[in-house]
Structures are given as C-alpha cells and as structure tokens.
Copies of this chain bind each other. A is one copy, B any other.
C-alpha cells in the first residue's frame, strides 16, 4: 500500500495514471520504475516516495480499479428489491464497467494472475465476501433465496465471479459468460420450483423454470 498524503496526492495520481497506461500497453512485468518516473515527469525518488516498489504500485492500482468497478456495480444494486435480479444486474454492471476501462483491462487481467499482485486481490476479495455474505443472509432471512450457509455461498459465488471476469477479460466476449453466471444466480431463487409465484418487491423477473418451454 503506497503512502497517502493529501498534499502530494496529485503527484501520486499522476504516477498511477501514467503507470496504468504503461502497464496496459507493455504488460506489468516489462515496465520499469525508471520508465514510469520518466513518463510522469518526476524523479525516480518521487516514485519511490509514494511506492515501495513496482509491486506496491501495481497493488494500489489494482485496488483503485477494483474499487471503481465495484462502486459502479453497486450503483445498480438495490438491496430492498428482488435480490436475485439485483445480483444479476450488479454482476452485469461490473462486467460492463470492465468494458469501459479500455486498455486498462489488460492490466487488470495481469493483476489477477501475477503472483506478487494477487495478495492485494485476495484482500479485496475478502471485503467482497463480507459484502455479498451480508446481502445473501438478509435475503435468506426474508425467504427470497434458498437457505444455504451464507459464508460458504458468498465464497463459492465470488470464486465463480472472479473466474467469469477473468474469462471475459481473456476472450473479450461478455455474453456467453454472463449467461452462465445468470443461470447460477437464478438457481438461488427460493421459489425456483414454483411456476407462477412472483418474488415480492422490486423488479419482477420470471425464474428460469417459468421461462422454460412447457
């Protein structure tokens, strides 16, 4: 984690912006701290003032990107509405937000597969597990989704979503993977076996069973 100090945040942000461009262009491993300093128009010392090393810079960048994507996804999420529909919207929004990252998405793919950066990703994932677990537990207590262990379900879903995201980043195609994830999310509906019951609250979406050809 790089140092934080409001006074120099502008320099820090410039370094991060430039680094992201370089990483996205040439790949994380190929870029040196010297190149980052030169492109940002600062001394190497200035870069090392903010970041212990390139891995540290990469972790901060990954964390910032992940936070931005998560914030976008959460704007689509209404915890009071139909929880299953909302999980689908949120995941789709997350993937659409990936698409708006431009070349930065290549860095994000690196970030999730380069061991030294994975540590930061793990921490972000733990925060996401806690968030999703809370949402699931609330939905279970309202009887909206099937009763399963909320932590186990949150971890298993997050594992699925991370791989789904990586696959979309790798193939550049969203639709086939989104369909898979939506199928799994829909399976959590408490009334998945009932053909006509509509889940109360928020947007009404038919469950996969209702949509099946009879």
Contact = CB atoms under 8 A, between A and B. Distances in A.
Given A156-B167, A160-B157, A163-B158, A193 B177 contact: no
Contacts of A213: 204-206, 211
Nearest to A204: B213
Interface string A22-53: 00000000000000000000000000000000
Given A159-B160, A163-B158, A163-B159, A146 B183 contact: yes
8 closest cross-chain pairs (CB), A and B: A159-B163, A115-B115, A187-B187, A149-B176, A160-B160, A211-B211, A152-B177, A159-B159
Contacts of A193: 193, 195, 209, 212
Interface of A: 113, 115-116, 118-119, 122, 146, 148-149, 151-153, 155-164, 166-167, 176-177, 179-184, 186-188, 192-193, 195, 204-206, 208-209, 211-213
B176 A192 contact: no
Given A184-B187, A192-B209, A213-B205, A179 B118 contact: no
A136 to B, nearest CB: 10
A208 B211 contact: yes
B118 A115 contact: yes
A119 B208 CA distance: 36
Contacts of A186: 187
